[in-house]
Amino acid sequence: MVVSLDELVDALPKAERLHWRPVQIEHVVCDSRQVAPGDLFVAISGVSVDGHRFVGDALQAGAVACVVERLLPELTGTPTVLVPNSREAFAYLHAALQGFPARQLRVIGVTGTDGKTTTVRLISAILRAAGHATGSVDSVSAFIGGQEVPTGFHTTTPDAPEVQAYLAEMVSRGMEYAVLETTSHGLAQHRVAACEFDVAVITNITHEHLDYHKTYEAYREAKGLLFRALGRSLCKPGMKKVAVLNADDPSYDYLRAFPADLYISYGLRRTAQVRPEEIQEGPSGLSLVVSLGGRILSLFSPLIGRYNVYNILAAVSVGYALELPMEAIRQGISAMRGVPGRMERIDRGQPFTVIVDFAHTPNALENALRTARQLAQGKVSVVFGCAGLRDRAKRPWMGRIAGQLADRVFITAEDPRTEPLEQIIEEIAQGCLQAGCQEGQDFWRVPDRAEAIAQALSMAQPGDVVIVTGKGHERSMCFGTVEHPWSDHEAILQGLRALGYSG
């Protein structure tokens, strides 16, 4: 597709044209190594590399124009677009290339520390039950027109070109709604700029990603960008701007201050507009009686764990805000049976329960272990680690949680990246010691994740629960700078086969 530079630049919120002349653009790229003749090069200041250093390389490769945040001598005579933020411009340029697909959809964004993927799928299930063609993008897959597309290794929010391409595909396949999982990184790095949100949903904001955001306040501010975008997005006919807020979360007052046409609060407290009047938990799921602004709705969800009550309430709140039929909300909640790697049971005929879960934050680990304790008739074993080059403060914290709530703790690898694995394990182990655990009796250091899983399975007795957390659906593990194939599911199946359980 060839488009004029003027047409693309007209799409940018703020832009200054320099050395101008009409040119035609083949592609918009931000990696100078991918530039081909006729391309527009966007110089992005990255975390470790500044794209402005490679403007000369891009021009030599055939770039006919550049988007930059500061002027450079080598750009003299080249059509140049000066912008405040190149990442944001990159997203808008790709939206323009795709014909601004979000403007032809009703877009729901879901952010928070935990529960985003589950909430995205619950909302999507409700919309489909109400008869609305719905596409979604979450940390596991994109669903478009009945087809599932994996979103890649360690991906939460894809980069802007992929997001806009997904949205364009949804438009081409006749979708009405798009439900997007939006992470703090994705928001801070403008990957979801130009998504023209109509509904913004928060699950919770707890301790996570402080390696990147540095402080809780900065992390909360990044999450708040979704609600800021809500007020700045295109107003679409017949669609209010809706903010769905967790009344029980400390972020409530902060996020309530962002402008919206309609605010819906959910939670356990009596002041929440959407709240449970009754909660019954069981091994087969959750039964709820929910009050929606005075109306009563009885629900059953196959999801297990009390923490999923919040995800369900968030999704119900979206249905309530969109004035969807009560029966569609009920059907959607009951239809969503779970997410790969989220409290997912693996049964090969063994006399104990085995669960894979994505829990990789203190709050998520605590919720997962409390749920495992409710399911266990015997002991609870947990296999987990903490990622390298990520929030170090949570490591001893998660070690304490594991030591307090599990009977056996196996500390192992989880994407150590370039950090020494032994050091990561030591920091987690300190938390176990603080919880009063004894090494070799209550917790073990097993660096090889497959060995850790096998050891936990071999020690399990009838009625026990073995829960493996931190990787969930992911299909790779990073050592150094290389992604190696990995699957908790496959490692568990191999461990069970070695014990004689093949299903």
pLDDT in tens, 164-181: 999 999 999 999 999 999
Residues 403-424 have a mean pLDDT of: 97
| pLDDT bucket at 210, cuts 50 / 70 / 90 | low
Residues 91-95 have a mean pLDDT of: 97
Do the bridges between strand 134-137 and strand 141-144 make them parallel or antiparallel, or are there none, so unpaired?
Answer: antiparallel
Residue 211 confidence (pLDDT) above 60: no
Do the first three CATH levels of 3-83 and 98-335 match, i.e. the same topology?
no
Which two structure tokens, joined as six digits, stand for 290? 């929910």
pTM, entire model: 0.89
The one-letter amino acid at 310 = Y
pLDDT of residue 353: 97
| pLDDT bucket at 282, cuts 50 / 70 / 90 | confident
Interval 213-224: pLDDT, tens: 468 888 889 899
Distance CA 93, CA 28 (A): 7
Q: Which residues contact 30 (CB under 8 A, 6 or more apart)?
A: 41, 42, 43, 44, 51, 86, 90
Distance CA 123, CA 324 (A): 11
- Cβ count within 10 A of residue 443: 25
Residue 413 confidence (pLDDT) above 90: yes
Interval 289-306: pLDDT, tens: 999 988 999 999 999 999
User: Would you call 84 helix, strand, or coil by DSSP?
Assistant: coil
CATH 1.10.3720.10 is right for the domain spanning 98-335? no
pLDDT of residue 277: 97
pLDDT of residue 321: 98
Which two structure tokens, joined as six digits, stand for 420? 């020494």
Residue 208 confidence (pLDDT) above 60: no
What proportion of the chain, given as a percentage, has pLDDT over 90?
A: 88
Q: Is the dihedral of CA 11, 17, 21, 23 positive or negative?
A: negative
| pLDDT bucket at 156, cuts 50 / 70 / 90 | low
Which two structure tokens, joined as six digits, stand for 321? 């805000």
| pLDDT bucket at 252, cuts 50 / 70 / 90 | very high
Give the H or E element holding residue 9: helix 5-9
Interval 339-394: pLDDT, tens: 989 999 999 999 999 999 999 999 899 999 999 999 999 999 999 999 999 889 89
User: Would you call 138 helix, strand, or coil by DSSP?
Assistant: coil
| pLDDT bucket at 125, cuts 50 / 70 / 90 | very high
Residues 391-409 have a mean pLDDT of: 96
Interval 488-502: pLDDT, tens: 999 999 999 999 998
Residue 53 confidence (pLDDT) above 90: yes
Q: What does pLDDT average to over the chain?
A: 94
pLDDT of residue 463: 97
Angle between helices 326-335 and 308-321 (to 10 degrees): 150
Domain boundaries 3-83, corresponding CATH code: 3.40.1390.10
Residues 57-73 have a mean pLDDT of: 97
Residues 71-90 have a mean pLDDT of: 96
The residue extents of the domains of the chain are 3-83, 98-335, 344-498
Interval 468-484: pLDDT, tens: 999 998 999 999 999 99
Residue 184 confidence (pLDDT) above 90: no
> What is 344-498's CATH superfamily?
Mur ligase, C-terminal domain (3.90.190.20)
The one-letter amino acid at 119 = T
CA 421-216-477 angle, 5° bins? 30
pLDDT of residue 401: 98
pLDDT of residue 294: 85
Residues 30-41 have a mean pLDDT of: 97
Q: Report whether 149 contacts 141 (CB < 8 A).
A: yes
pLDDT of residue 212: 54
| pLDDT bucket at 59, cuts 50 / 70 / 90 | very high
Residue 242, phi then psi, degrees to nearest 5: -115, 130
Residues 84-90 have a mean pLDDT of: 97
